[in-house]
């Protein structure tokens, strides 16, 4: 009681976190609330807003293109995320168990694609594959591949998978570094004990490393879901914003952008945004729950 | 439990950021000086000066102001030097914002009403949206009174800038009639003729044009850069716009055009790339692309700008129908504090025949002012066109009054049409399915339109 006034510093904590919350309220919370209010209005950006109750959401629930964009986004994310986490685990395991010469260089090279702007990567791949005289077609023709030149961007499956590939290529290095840092926080004694008990490298990885980096994996999964569901730059630059061919790479964010800034349906775009928010919330909580459940079993 | 709470809180904060990202308004990318609204000084009638050709101008050329202009292209900057010779005290700040981002930058500023530029441009894809929204002032009213001066402007420029109530809200320095920009040497080689009238005879209707394409194909020459070029011409072949009285109209000509696209694709009459793709541009310098079907801007910004080895080998002729496509308009913001200065600039850029002649003689653009185009038609022809005078040529096209069918929906509807046409041409869907897909896409973009 007597010393409290001098040594009690708990109040300072709030002071230190205050700047974040101030910024968050104005730049995060206010726009978010504004989006919700916009989603029940009809607004073309210039004329006065009109309150239309839940009409935007009614339209959203019966909008085929919205569902298509959800399927596209999920497919592109899943096809890039699974290889991404597997590659990251494998490379991290190799880098942390073996002494690889020039590991730092490899790590930097793997991480490098992540430093490029997504928009320029999208444009770059568009240049590589677009047209009969594209780089890819030139190479294939020089190798006398039958059927070349191919119309790559006329094929929805190819275009969608190419987008996934780009996402994998850009993000596996980043994921690998997170996994590696997760592994290095594990107490070395555990590995020593395992070795003394006769566990081989595979067993150690499965029984010790994997369970102990679970929090890292949870983090990676959730941030990847959030990022993946918001995917925009790469498919937008690759298809000039249309999501073609056959709307195969029209993601939710692209659809949202097109409805807002191209069709001037800002209210409806806000409704899509709320829909996207709901999807991300559900997926994030579901994955959190699924992994927590698995975690408790081991405890 | 506490850990769970924290993680819950953190997750929701991250999730909320998702929403915030979508809702926040993008800010224009440049450092803007907010003190643009310097007062316009009292009119000094002693300083009255004649400078606008036939009009006697009572505007004070010594007025001081700072004008902020947003433009989707570089062209307006080219007028500033000449303008400042007449109005030395008006500072003109031009911010160029790429066309693709233009509206997404402009609409938030307009809806907020803060830091709106005094003048901003609108390209043909969305100019009607801005014109009909009434964000630009009516130039026939106070303080502009431009009605009489508009007689020297091509109807196309005036009509597109006019809203449904008849208010003229936007004008342009350019008019954009179209042509078939063709290679004289390749025409000589395959058709045995090279002069515009002679080549036109081979392109007098769409069927004949495709027959000619077949003749070029036999000589390993691709007729077109892209079928998307040809679509610009076909759009003026329609009698009706995409939207009439809130209803989607698919002109019979546009249904027929689907088959033309299919034939071009299947028989490889084009490079099978989109406009502005590197390969499409590179075709200018190759010896196996016969023509580009493009309006004025396509000639000056694309063909002429890229012709080095093919310099002097080009010609302009007419295709199956006269057409006009594209263009950039500009207008004065309705709540601008600098209306007089803004009008001085706009008048200089869009109505000053001498200024436009000077501009055109340097940059080779076909301009919106009739007297300027007439004067330029008397000059010598262009080197790149083997002596053909483009003003004379385009004057002839304008005299045929090509159909103008611009609506505020065109940008998105044309995209939907192209996607459907491509899917049909490549054999993914039937013609009926293509039309259904087109209608569905339009309905998705504009749910308020009636679509049958």
pLDDT along chain A (299 residues), means of 10: 62 88 92 91 84 90 93 95 94 83 86 89 91 88 87 92 94 92 89 88 86 89 90 91 90 93 90 93 86 57
CB B367 within 8 A of CB B174: yes
Cα A132 to Cα B106: distance, rounded to the nearest angstrom:
37
Higher pLDDT, B70 or B35: B70
Residue from B335, B281, B327, B289 nearest B110 by CA: B335
- Is A131 within 8 Å of chain B by CB? yes
CB B116 within 8 A of CB B110: yes
Instruction: Tell me, yes or no, whether A1 lies in a domain.
Output: no
| One domain, residues B100 and B124 | yes
Closest CB from A258, A259, A277 relative to B18: A277
- Is A265 within 8 Å of chain B by CB? yes
Cα B231 to Cα A88: distance, rounded to the nearest angstrom:
48
Instruction: Tell me, yes or no, whether A247 lies in a domain.
Output: yes
> What's the mean pLDDT in B416-431?
93
> What's the mean pLDDT in B398-410?
86
CB B49 within 8 A of CB B57: yes
| One domain, residues B157 and B141 | yes
Cα B37 to Cα B54: distance, rounded to the nearest angstrom:
31
Q: What is the pLDDT of residue A6?
A: 63
| One domain, residues B200 and B278 | yes
Task: Give the total number of structural domains in chain B.
Answer: 2
Instruction: Tell me, yes or no, whether A272 lies in a domain.
Output: yes
**DSSP run (H or E) holding B104:** helix B99-112
Q: Pick the residue of A258, A263, A286 with the most B CBs within 10 A to test the interface with B by mutation.
A: A263
Closest CB from B7, B133, B419 relative to A242: B419
| One domain, residues B145 and B94 | yes
Residue that is last in its domain, among B339, B359, B377: B377
Domain that holds residue B406: 178-323+383-445
Q: What is the pLDDT of residue B293?
A: 94
| One domain, residues B90 and B167 | yes
Instruction: Tell me, yes or no, whether B17 lies in a domain.
Output: no
- Is A285 within 8 Å of chain B by CB? yes
Kindly report the backbone phi and psi dihedral angles of residue B95, in degrees, each rounded to the nearest multiple of 5, phi listed first: -105, 120
Neighbours of B154 (CB within 10 A): 22
Q: What is the pLDDT of residue B231?
A: 93
Q: Pick the residue of A46, A289, A299 with the most B CBs within 10 A to test the interface with B by mutation.
A: A46
Task: For B108-132, give one letter per residue: b (16+ CB within 10 A) or e.
Answer: bbbbeeeebbbbbbbbbbbbbbbbb
Cα B247 to Cα B240: distance, rounded to the nearest angstrom:
11
Instruction: Tell me, yes or no, whether B169 lies in a domain.
Output: yes
Instruction: Tell me, yes or no, whether A44 lies in a domain.
Output: no
Q: What is the pLDDT of residue B382?
A: 86
| One domain, residues B148 and B237 | no
The number of CA neighbours under 13 Å toward the Cβ of B332 is 27
CB B288 within 8 A of CB B222: yes
Residue from B328, B317, B325, B275 nearest B295 by CA: B325
Q: Do A261 and B422 touch (CB under 8 A)?
A: no
Q: Which tokens go with B238?
A: 């329609």
- CA B359 to each of CA B85, B346, B362, B368: distance values in angstroms, whole numbers, following the listed order: 14, 14, 5, 12
DSSP B139: T
Task: Give the total number of structural domains in chain A.
Answer: 1
Instruction: Tell me, yes or no, whether A153 lies in a domain.
Output: yes
Q: Nearest-CA distance from B273 to chain A in Å?
A: 6
CB B426 within 8 A of CB A154: yes
| One domain, residues B212 and B231 | yes
Instruction: Tell me, yes or no, whether B286 lies in a domain.
Output: yes
Q: Which tokens go with B144?
A: 């502009």
Q: Pick the residue of B16, B17, B19, B134 with the most A CBs within 10 A to test the interface with A by mutation.
A: B19
SS3 sequence, chain A?
CCCHHHHCCHHHHHHHHHHHHHHHHHHHHHHHHHHHHHCCEECCCCCCCEECCCHHHHHHHCCHHHHHHHHHHHHHHHHHHHHHHHHHHHHHHHHHHCCCCCHHHHHHHHHHHHHCCHHHHHHHHHHHHCCCCCHHHHHHHHCCCCCCCCCHHHCHHHHHHHHHHHHHHHHHHHHHHHHHHHHHCCCHHHHHHHHHCCCCHHHHHHHHHHHHCHHHHHHHHHHHHHHHHCCCHHHHHHCCCCCCCCCCCCCHHHHHHHHHHHCCCHHHHHHHHHHHHHHHHHHHHHHHHHHHHHHHHHC
| One domain, residues B360 and B284 | no
Q: What is the pLDDT of residue B136?
A: 92
- Is A220 within 8 Å of chain B by CB? no
Cα A37 to Cα A266: distance, rounded to the nearest angstrom:
11
Closest CB from B20, B111, B133 relative to A28: B20
CATH no. for residue A249? Answer: 1.10.3720.10
Percent over 90 (pLDDT), chain B: 50
Instruction: Tell me, yes or no, whether B37 lies in a domain.
Output: no
Kindly report the backbone phi and psi dihedral angles of residue B295, in degrees, each rounded to the nearest multiple of 5, phi listed first: -75, -175
Instruction: Tell me, yes or no, whether B452 lies in a domain.
Output: no
Q: Do A264 and B15 touch (CB under 8 A)?
A: no
Q: Which tokens go with B327?
A: 């263009």
| One domain, residues B162 and B207 | no
- Position B91 pLDDT exceeds 80: yes
ipTM of the prediction greater than 0.90, yes or no: no
Instruction: Tell me, yes or no, whether B5 lies in a domain.
Output: no
Q: What is the pLDDT of residue A294?
A: 59
| Mean pLDDT, chain B, whole residue set | 84
| One domain, residues B276 and B392 | yes
Instruction: Tell me, yes or no, whether B107 lies in a domain.
Output: yes
**Which 66-125 residues of chain A touch chain B by CB within 8 A?**
none
> What's the mean pLDDT in B345-372?
90
Instruction: Tell me, yes or no, whether A23 lies in a domain.
Output: no
| One domain, residues B297 and B430 | yes
Domain that holds residue A93: 55-298
Q: Could you read off the pLDDT of B156-169 as tens digits, one per residue? A: 999 999 998 889 99
Cα A51 to Cα B244: distance, rounded to the nearest angstrom:
27
| One domain, residues B205 and B250 | yes
CB B406 within 8 A of CB B127: yes
Q: Nearest-CA distance from B1 to chain A in Å?
A: 13
Q: What is the pLDDT of residue A53?
A: 84
CB pairs under 8 A between A and B: 124
Residue that is last in its domain, among B377, B396, B414: B377
Instruction: Tell me, yes or no, whether B232 lies in a domain.
Output: yes
Query: What's the whole-model pTM score?
Result: 0.83
CB B124 within 8 A of CB B410: yes
Cα B451 to Cα B248: distance, rounded to the nearest angstrom:
5
DSSP B39: P
CATH no. for residue B296? Answer: 3.40.190.10
The number of CA neighbours under 13 Å toward the Cβ of B87 is 27
Q: What is the pLDDT of residue B415?
A: 92
């Amino acid at each position: 009681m007597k010393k409290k006034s001098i040594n009690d510093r708990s109040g300072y904590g709030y002071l230190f976190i205050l700047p974040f919350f101030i910024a968050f309220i104005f730049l995060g919370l206010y726009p978010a609330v504004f989006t919700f209010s916009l989603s029940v209005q009809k607004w073309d950006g210039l004329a006065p807003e009109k309150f239309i109750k839940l009409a935007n959401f009614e339209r959203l629930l019966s909008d085929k293109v919205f569902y298509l964009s959800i399927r596209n986004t999920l497919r592109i994310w899943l096809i890039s995320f699974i290889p991404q986490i597997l590659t990251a685990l494998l490379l991290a395991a190799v880098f942390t168990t073996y002494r690889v010469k020039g590991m730092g260089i490899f790590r930097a090279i793997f991480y490098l694609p992540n430093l490029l702007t997504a928009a320029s990567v999208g444009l770059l791949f568009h240049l590589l594959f677009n047209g009969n005289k594209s780089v890819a077609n030139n190479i294939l023709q020089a190798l006398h591949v039958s059927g070349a030149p191919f119309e790559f961007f006329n094929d929805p499956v190819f275009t969608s998978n190419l987008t996934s590939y780009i996402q994998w290529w850009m993000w596996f290095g980043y994921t690998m570094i997170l996994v590696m840092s997760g592994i290095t926080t594990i107490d070395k004694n555990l590995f020593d004990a395992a070795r003394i008990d006769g566990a081989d490298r595979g067993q150690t990885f499965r029984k010790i490393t994997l369970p102990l980096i679970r929090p890292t994996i949870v983090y990676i999964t959730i941030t990847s879901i959030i990022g993946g569901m918001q995917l925009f730059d790469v498919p937008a630059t690759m298809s000039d914003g249309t999501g073609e061919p056959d709307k195969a790479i029209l993601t939710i964010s692209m659809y949202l952008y097109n409805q807002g800034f191209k069709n001037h349906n800002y209210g409806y775009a806000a409704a899509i945004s709320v829909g996207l928010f709901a999807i991300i919330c559900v997926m994030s909580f579901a994955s959190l729950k699924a992994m927590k459940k698995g975690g408790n079993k081991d405890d | 439990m506490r850990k769970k709470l924290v993680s819950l809180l953190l997750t929701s904060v991250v999730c909320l950021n998702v929403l915030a990202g979508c809702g926040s308004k993008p800010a224009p990318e440049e450092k803007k000086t907010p003190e643009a609204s310097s007062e316009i000084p009292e009119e000094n009638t002693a300083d009255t000066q004649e400078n606008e050709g036939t009009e006697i101008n009572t505007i004070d050329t010594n007025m001081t102001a700072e004008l902020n202009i947003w433009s989707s292209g570089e062209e307006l900057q080219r007028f500033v030097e000449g303008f400042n010779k007449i109005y030395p005290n008006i500072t003109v700040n031009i911010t160029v914002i790429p066309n693709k981002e233009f509206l997404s930058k402009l609409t938030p500023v307009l809806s907020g009403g803060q830091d709106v530029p005094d003048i901003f441009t609108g390209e043909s894809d969305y100019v009607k949206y801005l014109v009909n929204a009434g964000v630009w002032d009516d130039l026939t009213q106070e303080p502009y009174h431009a009605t009489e001066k508009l007689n020297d402007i091509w109807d196309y420029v005036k009509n597109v800038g006019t809203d449904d109530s008849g208010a003229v809200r936007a004008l342009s320095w350019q008019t954009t009639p179209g042509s078939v920009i063709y290679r004289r040497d390749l025409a000589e080689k395959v058709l045995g003729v090279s002069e515009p009238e002679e080549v036109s005879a081979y392109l007098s209707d769409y069927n004949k044009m495709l027959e000619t394409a077949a003749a070029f194909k036999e000589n390993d020459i691709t007729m077109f850069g892209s079928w998307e070029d040809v679509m610009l011409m076909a759009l003026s072949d329609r009698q009706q716009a995409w939207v009439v009285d809130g209803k989607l109209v698919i002109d019979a000509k546009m249904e027929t055009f689907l088959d033309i696209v299919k034939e071009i694709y299947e028989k490889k009459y084009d490079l099978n790339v989109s406009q502005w793709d590197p390969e499409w541009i590179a075709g200018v310098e190759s010896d196996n692309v016969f023509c580009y079907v493009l309006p004025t801007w396509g000639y000056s910004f694309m063909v002429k700008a890229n012709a080095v080895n093919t310099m002097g080998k080009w010609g302009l002729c007419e295709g199956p129908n006269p057409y006009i496509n594209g263009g950039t308009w500009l207008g004065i913001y309705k709540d601008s504090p600098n209306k007089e200065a803004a009008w001085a600039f706009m008048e200089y850029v869009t109505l000053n025949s001498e200024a436009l002649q000077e501009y055109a003689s340097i940059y080779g653009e076909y301009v919106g002012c009739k007297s300027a185009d007439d004067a330029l038609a008397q000059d010598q022809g262009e080197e790149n066109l083997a002596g053909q005078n483009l003003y004379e040529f385009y004057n002839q096209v304008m005299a045929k009054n090509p159909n103008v069918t611009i609506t505020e929906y065109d940008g998105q509807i044309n995209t939907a049409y192209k996607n459907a046409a491509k899917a049909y041409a490549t054999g993914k869907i039937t013609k009926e399915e293509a039309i259904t897909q087109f209608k569905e896409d339009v309905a998705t973009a504009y749910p308020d339109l009636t679509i049958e």
